[in-house]
Each structure stands twice: as C-alpha cells, then as structure tokens.
C-alpha cells in the first residue's frame, strides 16, 4: 500500500483514492495520516505477534514452527490489502504513537528470539547468538519492503516461503539428508 | 557517522564538527551535503565491489570466500570512519548522483549473486533462488545500520562475522560435522 519512502509525500486524498473511499469517509475513521499509519503498523504487528505466540505454544519441530512465523511476517509486510509494509516507517509517527509501536515491535522481536532460543535448547538449532540471528532475520524480512513489487516475478507468499526457508536453514544443526534440504526449495523462484 | 534517519537534519556545520574540520575546509572539498553523502556511499560501494571481485577470482571453498565478502560488507556499513552506513540513504540524493549509486549498487548485487551461483554450480551450496537469497543477505546486512550502536555490546567486526556466518550456513549443502558447524560460532556474541 505505502512504499517505504512514499508515505511522507502521500496526502489523505491519495489514501482515500487508493482505498476507494471518499476523503470524508476516511476522516470518519481516522483523524489524519498518522492515525492511518499507526493503525496499519499496529494491525501488522498484531498479526506477527499472533504468529509467534502460536508457534511458541505449538508442538513439533522448531524449524517448521519458525518457518511459519517468518513466512507470515513477510506475507504481512508485503500484503497490499493490509498496507503493512508501512510498518518499517515508524520514524514518521509522532512520539506517543511511535512509542506504542516500538514497544509492540520489541515484544515481537523478543518472542522470535525466544522461539530460536527454545530451538537451541532442544538441540535442533546451532548455538550462536540468538539476538544477532533474530536481527539478521528481521533485516532480511523487513528489507523486502524496499524491493518487492506486486507485479514482479513472484508473489508475496512465494517470496515469504523462500526467504523463510533460507533463514531457517541457517539455524538447523542437522539436515535430514541432502535430499531433504533440497526438497524444501525444489523450484527456482 | 550518519544514522539512517539523521542525515536530512544534519547541516554542513554539524558535519564539519564531527569531522573536526572548519566549515570552510569542508567546503573546499565538497560543494554541499549531497556531495559528501555521494562520496561516502560511492567509497563504501568501491570497498564492497573490491571484496566481491576478489572473492570471485580467488580459489578455495565458496563458503569461506562468501563469508569474507559478507563480513566486509557489514564492517564497511558500520565503520564510523568511513561513514558508510549512509549508503542505504540513496533517496536523499539528487537524481543524477542517485543513479550513479544505484548502478554501482546493482553491480555489487550482481557480483554477490554470481558468487552464490558459482557455489551452487560447484555443488557447495544448496540449490534455490540465488536472486532471492542475495536480497535476503543484503537485507540482513543493511538492516544493521538501523540498530548497531558503536558503544553497544559488540563491535562492528564481531557483528559482521556473526551475521556472515549465519547467512553462509543457510546456503551450505553439507556441514563438515556437527562439531564443525558449532565450531564456527563458538562464542555467544
């Protein structure tokens, strides 16, 4: 919906046009652009938090659970309907709204790190620095907002699966087999 | 030197102060902020291009050569002296300077992708989408500019080695052994 460098130059009328609403209708729900940006970011983070909370509570291999969380993150970021790729633009927000997003984002990062730590503790993931790996993953995923094009070669779900698969492989202690490793990314994207 | 959202609000006097130069001296070398930003980005990209060109020409395991390129990238990004973390801010540049950086950045991305493709061709790396993996790597590395603090727990070299090690592991088809895999990241960062 909003590209990472496009929001500052976007007016309420542009947003209303994009959402197929009259400006009056848009103002009925939101007091201004800041509120819309906050709403998009907040809703995207809720989806991501739901995914990580669900994965931590679930059973099964850590790799498969982490894969689901990462794929959901990318899909949420790139989903044009949700407008969530705006969620990297927190500096555009006034401090009070910004702080609420930062706190929620920190909570999500913590959940992701704890999921990785649990996989290390169970012996499924290689030891290392979970905090650093978490940030590397967040970077790889958030960066998609700078280059993904909805009319590009691959849709958001394919990009999400591909990036998630690559990131999870970086943590796995043992591959089931060479076939198993190749089997997770059978196609060229 | 310049944080990813700090440059727009930085004046020539601030830059002169940070570089311990008089504003007159700074204007002797640069006509304005745009030229300084361009110079920083251009120089950073030259270092990165040197690293990837050297790695493609070198012999030895693909994993070790890729590891060196990625570690050099992060170190260049985070190196306070070079001011290279500004290199993600290309949208601040006027179009003519921006285009030159974009072309050089594309050349670097292509070199990185070709290094990965060569590793896949030799059987050292898992098959998959080299373009997607390249962008995931660029995201993980460039994102460090948003969170790295020079006074933080780890220096730039440690962060670079850690992120590079994680990203290379995501590509390796076979680990030498469980010991070998753990041995590449023996410390917690």
pLDDT for A56-67, tens place per residue?
999 999 999 999
Contact B138 A133 (CB under 8 A): no
Q: Is some CB atom of chain A closer than 8 A to the CB atom of B170?
A: yes
Q: Is some CB atom of chain A closer than 8 A to the CB atom of B142?
A: yes
**pLDDT(B39) > 50:** yes
Residues of A in contact with B131 (CB under 8 A): 189
Contact B140 A142 (CB under 8 A): no
Distance CA B13, CA B26 (A): 9
Lowest mean pLDDT among A68-82, B58-72, B169-183: B169-183
- What is the pLDDT at residue A84? 53
- Orientation of helix A33-57 relative to helix A62-78, angle to 10°: 170
What is the average pLDDT score of chain A? 82
Contact A132 B166 (CB under 8 A): yes
Exposed, middle or buried, B21 (CB in 10 Å: 0-12/13-18/19+)? middle
Q: How far is CA A40 from CA A27, A32, A33, A79, A101, in A?
A: 15, 13, 11, 11, 10
Summarised one tens digit per residue, pLDDT across range A16-40 is 777 777 778 777 778 777 888 888 8
Q: Is some CB atom of chain B closer than 8 A to the CB atom of A9?
A: no
Q: Please give the residue of chain A at the shortest CA–CA distance from B165.
A: A170
Distance CA A151, CA A78 (A): 12
| ipTM for the whole complex | 0.81
Phi-psi region of B128 (alpha: psi -120 to 50; beta: other; left: phi over 0): left
Contact B10, B1 (CB under 8 A): no
B181 Cβ contact partners less than 8 Å away, ≥ 6 residues apart:
A126, A173, B169, B175
Most A CBs within 10 A among B138, B139, B157, B160, hence the mutation to make, goes to: B139
Q: How far is CA B142 from CA A126, A187, B19, B76, in A?
A: 24, 27, 24, 10
Q: Name the residue among B188, B158, B172 with its Cα closest to residue B71.
A: B158
Contact A163 B138 (CB under 8 A): no
- What is the pLDDT at residue B115? 97
The pLDDT > 90 percentage for chain B reads 50
For chain B, positions 103-122, list CB contacts with chain A under 8 A.
none
Summarised one tens digit per residue, pLDDT across range A120-132 is 999 999 998 999 9
Q: Please give the residue of chain A at the shortest CA–CA distance from B154.
A: A132
**pLDDT(B8) > 70:** no
Q: Name the residue among A88, A65, A85 with its Cα closest to residue A74.
A: A85
Mean pLDDT of A165-184: 68
Summarised one tens digit per residue, pLDDT across range A98-121 is 999 999 999 999 999 999 999 999
- What is the pLDDT at residue B15? 74
Contact A131 B178 (CB under 8 A): no
- What is the pLDDT at residue B163? 97
Q: Name the residue among B64, B66, B175, B171 with its Cα closest to residue A173.
A: B175
pTM as predicted: 0.83
Distance CA B94, CA B96 (A): 6
Q: Is some CB atom of chain A closer than 8 A to the CB atom of B8?
A: no
Distance CA A35, CA A156 (A): 26
- What is the pLDDT at residue A183? 38
Most A CBs within 10 A among B136, B137, B181, hence the mutation to make, goes to: B136
Q: Of A143, A170, A185, which has the smallest distance from its Cβ to B169's Cβ?
A: A170
Mean pLDDT of B103-112: 96
Exposed, middle or buried, A145 (CB in 10 Å: 0-12/13-18/19+)? buried
**pLDDT(B21) > 80:** no
Distance CA A149, CA B145 (A): 24
Mean pLDDT of A73-78: 91
- What is the pLDDT at residue A89? 66
Residue written as tokens 């999400």?
A160
**pLDDT(A189) > 60:** no
């Amino acid at each position: 919906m909003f590209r990472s460098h496009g929001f500052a130059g976007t007016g309420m009328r542009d947003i209303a046009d994009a959402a197929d609403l009259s400006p009056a209708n848009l103002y009925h729900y939101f007091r201004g652009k800041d509120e819309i940006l906050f709403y998009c970011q907040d809703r995207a983070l809720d989806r991501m938090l739901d995914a990580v909370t669900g994965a931590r509570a679930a059973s099964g291999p850590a790799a498969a659970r982490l894969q689901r969380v990462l794929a959901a993150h990318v899909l949420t970021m790139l989903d044009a309907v949700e407008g969530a790729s705006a969620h990297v633009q927190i500096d555009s927000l006034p401090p009070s709204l910004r702080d609420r997003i930062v706190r929620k984002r920190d909570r999500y990062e913590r959940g992701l790190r704890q999921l990785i730590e649990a996989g290390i503790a169970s012996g499924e993931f290689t030891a290392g620095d979970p905090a650093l790996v978490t940030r590397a993953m967040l970077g790889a995923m958030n960066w998609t907002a700078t280059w993904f094009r909805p009319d590009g070669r691959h849709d958001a779900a394919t990009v999400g699966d591909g990036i998630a698969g690559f990131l999870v492989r970086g943590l796995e202690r043992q591959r089931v087999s060479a076939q198993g490793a190749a089997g997770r990314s059978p196609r060229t994207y």
